[in-house]
Each structure stands twice: as structure tokens, then as C-alpha cells.
Amino acid sequence: MSTRTTDTAPPPPLPRRRRALLSALIATTLALVGAAASLVATPQAHGAVPSTPGWNLEWSDDFNGASGTLPSSANWQFDLGHSYPGGPANWGTNEVQSFTDSTNNISLDGSGNLKITPLRDGSGNWTSSRIETRRADFKAPAGGTLRIESRIQMPNVTGAAASGYWPAFWAVGSPYRGNYWNWPSIGEYDIMENVNGLNSVFGTLHCGVNPGGPCNETTGLGSSRACPNSTCQSAFHTYTFEWDRSVTPNQLRWYVDGTQYHSVNQSQFDAATWSNMTDHAGYFILLNVSIGGAFPDALGGSTPTAATEPGHPMIVDYVGVWSRGGSTITSPSPSPSSTPPASGSPTLYLRSGGALGDSTGSAADVTVASAGGANHDGTPTQPQTFTSSGITRTYNGGSTQFDLSVDAGTAVGNGQQVRVSYDLTGDGSWDRTETYNYFATDPVTGYEHYTQSRGLKSSTGSLGNLVNGKVRVEVWNAIGNGPSTVGVGNQSVVDIPFS
């Protein structure tokens, strides 16, 4: 999100027939005005996620569901409290609210919308909500374009009553999960931000180092404009971001209601900066309404104030992700027990039944056996193993990346570990093995993100081209006295350095 550290004597009476006609006309006009006012007061959903000719819909949520229920847990996960576990305090931006998963703060409205509503209690404490997609692999295909879009009405509050409001629709690089200290190098695309009820949409790129660097942190590289035709607060508008790898140099573009208002391109950055924010597994998407923080403060003084009114929701009609062109290959989904080929995407999903493939399969949990109090650091012991075979691809000189959803429930002192192995020719010998430092899970139920940012513990051999080769992922408990679980389907991914 932006700015870390945007009248005369009466006329003669009309004939009776004309008076009657005029009265009818006035009544009809008032009815139409009333209906229009009702539509403004209660924004309606647009309907299904719109079709976009020439684009492939990769993922979406149109927030259909019963009024007062939470958004789909298959699509979204909650950020709670004042920070990620072990991450920067106050979400790194000095905002004041605590995020919750209460339906008072976030719920479907029964009409195809999601509402995120900031509230203040009698002691002055603010609560709100923030959700992020479970998927963290939204990435432009090589030679193609990624499009991320949402139709949103910002909180309908302005002036002093809006002081401190900070609604946002944005995306962050997947390596941030489980690390929380590698921002902004992993990239952040702020697709829509607004503060203090201003009639402006802000679009911003964060990258590089903080402070300063090629993205001028903590401000970022941004632009803004007023919402077209009607204010951002009074009506729905469509906010779109495109990551275009079909042109040279690659481009990032921001739109509101189809009108471009901001762009940056690859030639503005050194190779390392661009690589750090684009050459990982992809991005996850976030929706939230914050209260207070550096960005609202920068555009209006100390926030929030006593005049700030709680209870004004951000209303979200849909979120969609599309791709166009490029080398994305759509494969039929094999059964969970099969070993699917992975010749298309570099992103492989851990799946039920020990498969490792380029389609997600069904979301589920698999159990990882307890370490039984012994120390298995570096040595796979009763691992859950996921394998893919028949892969022919060219090594691109990069490195393995992964994002595993792991949970040890309330067990204390558990630590999951992963080893990734490559058999380059499929002859049964593992030419390259990479064992990563184990991830110590917290004793709180709920998935955490174990990523390659934990660092390599050891490795053997070297990588080269895959010719009918194999990839294997092993997950086990290195320490602890309790079992744990790993999320599979769309919940855990490995990004292999091959194209």
C-alpha cells in the first residue's frame, strides 16, 4: 500500500387537462428521481464477472452468497490483528485498526457484493477487515499479458467524516508470505487506493529497496486521477491493472473504467530490481479498508480524528484475473492419484495422492507424521512425497521457489522441512537435491506460509535441462512431538526454474 515509512407574480391557471397532464408528468419524474436515489443509496451488483473477449478468465469471485456470510474460504484467507506473525507492527504503515474475520466487519450482502466495514467501539478502538487470495501465483505468461480487475464502490463518506479512511485493492509478490521483511523488493502493485474520501484513485508500484531506490520508497512510483463521470465514493467504478510481457520493454499499466492513467516499463529499472519483482511464482491479491496510517496522514494531517465516522463500507462487486497470449498451456485435470506431466507452467501444485502438477486439483489437507521428539533436521523421515514426471524443459538459470501452507495446530515446537529433487533425465538418479531450513510453526491453528526465504540448508549436484525428467517434493516434520498438515490443491506450490 502506498506511502510505507496519494420569483414573480403567479402565472394564470392552466386548463384542467393540461394541469392533469402536468401533474402526471411531475409524479412520474419524482418517481424516477426517487428510484435513482434508491439506486445510489443501495448500490447494486453488476452481476456475473464480465466476459472479456480475447482474454482467458483464470480466476474470479463474484461474491454471490447469503447475506451476512463470510467470503469463500476456498478463495480467500484473512489477515488478523495488527500485523503478520513476526512481521512489521501496525502492518508496516502505522494504521490503527485491528483486522478481524467478524461478519460485523466483512460479509456478503446477499446481492452479489462483498462489504468491508470499519467500525469504532466505545473506547475509540477501530476494527476492519483485510483478505488475500489463497492463490499466490498470478503472473503474466511469458510473451503474454495478465489482467487483474475489480468493480468497487469506495466508502461513501467524504470531508472530515472520511479522515483516515484508506480502502485498497492491491497485489503483493508471493515471496512476501512467510517472510514479511523482504518488501518492497518482491514487488507490490497498488491497483486502487483512496484516502480521506478524496475523489481520486491512486495507482502505485513499489519495488527495489527502502528507503529510496528505483521506486522512490516509501512513496513508490504512482499516479492518480478523479473517477470518471461520478465520484469514487458515490458509485461503482472498475479498477484494472495489466502486466504486459508481450511488448519490449515489458509494461505495467493502470486503468479506471477502461481509461489508462498510469504506466511504468521495464527500461526504468535495473535488471536485478525487475527480476526480483517479476521472476518469482507470482502475486496474491488483497482487499481491505484500513484506518489511519502514513498515506492518509500524508494527504490530510493526523488521522483518524474525532469527526471520522465509522460504518461506511467498501463494496466489491467482483474480482477477476485474466490472461491473454503467451506460452500458458491448459492441460486437462488428471485424477488426484495420477502423476500429471508438467511440461507447461513452471508452477507445480502439490496435490492429493502424491501428485505434483500444473493444475490445482481439489483443495484438501494431508497429514505429516510427528517427528516423535527426535531431531530429523535435514533427513526426510516419514515424508509426504509429491512427484511429477515426463518433463522436458530448458533450465533458465534461476532457482527453486515454493510457498507451502503448513499448520501444526496447537502443537508447540514443531518444524516442517522440505526437500526438492530433480532427476534431469528420468533415469531414477536425482541429479540435484535442495534441502531447505525447517520452518517453525506457531502453536495456533491456521495455515502459515513456508517459503524458500528460509534459505538452503544443503544442496547437492547441479541443474541442467530436463529431458523426460522428474521433480520430487518431500515434506516432513524435522522436530516436535505432534503431527502437522500441509494444504494441497491450490494451497501449496513449487515454482521450478525451467521454461
Q: Which of 42-56, 114-128, 359-373, 435-449 has the highest mean pLDDT?
A: 114-128
pTM of the model: 0.62
Q: Quick one: pLDDT band at residue 98, thresholds 50, 70, 90?
A: very high
Give Cα 51 distance to the centre of its chain.
21
Mean pLDDT over 229-249 rounds to: 97
Mean pLDDT over 248-266 rounds to: 97
> How many angstroms separate the CA atoms of 87 and 99, rounded?
15
Q: What is the pLDDT of residues 317-354, one digit of tens each?
A: 999 999 999 864 333 333 333 333 334 568 899 988 88
Q: How many CB atoms lie within 10 A of CB 478?
A: 24
Q: What is the pLDDT of residues 213-237, one digit of tens each?
A: 999 999 999 999 999 999 999 999 9
Average predicted confidence (pLDDT) for the chain = 87
For residues 146 and 366, the model is more confident at 146
Q: What percent of the chain has pLDDT over 90?
A: 68
- In this predicted structure, the answer to whether residue 156 has a pLDDT above a threshold of 60 is yes
Mean pLDDT over 379-402 rounds to: 89
pLDDT of residue 30: 39
Ordered structural domains, the chain, with CATH: 42-325 (2.60.120.200), 347-495 (2.60.120.260)
Q: What is the pLDDT of residues 164-198, one digit of tens each?
A: 999 999 999 999 998 899 999 999 999 999 999 99
Mean pLDDT over 204-209 rounds to: 97
Q: In the chain, what is the greatest distance between 2 CA atoms, to the nearest angstrom?
A: 102
pLDDT of residue 175: 92
SS (H, E, C) the chain: CCCCCCCCCCCCCCCHHHHHHHHHHHHHHHHHHHHHHHHHHCCCCCCCCCCCCCCEEEEEECCCCCCCCCCCCCCEEEECECCCCCCCHHHHCCCCCEECCCCCCEEECCCCCEEECCEECCCCCEEECEEEECCCCECCCCCEEEEEEEEEECCCCCHHHHCCEEEEEEEEEHHHCCCCCCCCCCCEEEEEECCCCCCCEEEEEECCCCCECCCCECCCEEEEECCCCCCCCCCCEEEEEEEECCCCCCEEEEEECCEEEEEEEHHHCCHHHHHHHHCCCCEEEEEEEEECCHHHHHCCCCCCCCCCCCCCCEEEEEEEEEEEECCCCCCCCCCCCCCCCCCCCCEEEECHHHEEECCCCCCEEEEECCCCCCCCCCCCCCCEEEEEEEEEECECCCCCEEEEEEECCCCCCCEEEEEEEEECCCCCCCCEEEEECCEECCCCCCCEEEEHHHCEEEEEECCCCEEEEEEEEEEEEEECCCCEEEEECCCCEEECCEC
pLDDT of residue 367: 92
Q: What is the pLDDT of residues 399-451, one digit of tens each?
A: 899 999 999 999 988 999 999 999 998 888 899 999 999 999 888 888 899 99
pLDDT of residue 24: 42
pLDDT of residue 228: 97
pLDDT of residue 17: 35
pLDDT of residue 68: 97
For residues 30 and 189, the model is more confident at 189
For residues 34 and 309, the model is more confident at 309
pLDDT of residue 2: 54
pLDDT of residue 19: 38
